[in-house]
């Protein structure tokens, strides 16, 4: 039974492979995966600028 579960996990991994291929293609997609905080950083930056002005 455990072996079947492992094979199922492999199937999910296969689905992740195409997604990973799409990530490298678009630039913005790469930062989103390992750059979620990077997207949040730009948001607070404009707010700080407004407060400073």
Q: What is the pLDDT of residue 11?
A: 54
Sign of CA dihedral 38, 17, 15, 10: negative
**Distances, alpha carbon 7 to alpha carbons 4, 16, 25, 38, 41, in Å:** 5, 14, 28, 35, 39
Helix, strand, coil distribution of the chain in percent, nearest 5: 75, 0, 25
- Tens digits of residue pLDDT in 4-51: 555 555 555 555 555 555 555 555 555 555 555 555 555 555 556 665
Tokens of residue 18, six digits: 């195409």
Report domain extents, the chain: 2-52
Dihedral, 52, 39, 26, 33 alpha carbons, nearest 10: 160
């Amino acid at each position: 039974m455990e072996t079947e579960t492992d094979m199922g996990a492999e199937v999910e991994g296969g689905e992740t492979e195409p997604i990973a291929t799409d990530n490298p293609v678009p630039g913005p997609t790469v930062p989103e995966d390992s750059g979620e905080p990077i997207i949040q950083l730009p948001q607070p930056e404009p707010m700080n600028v407004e407060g400073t002005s």
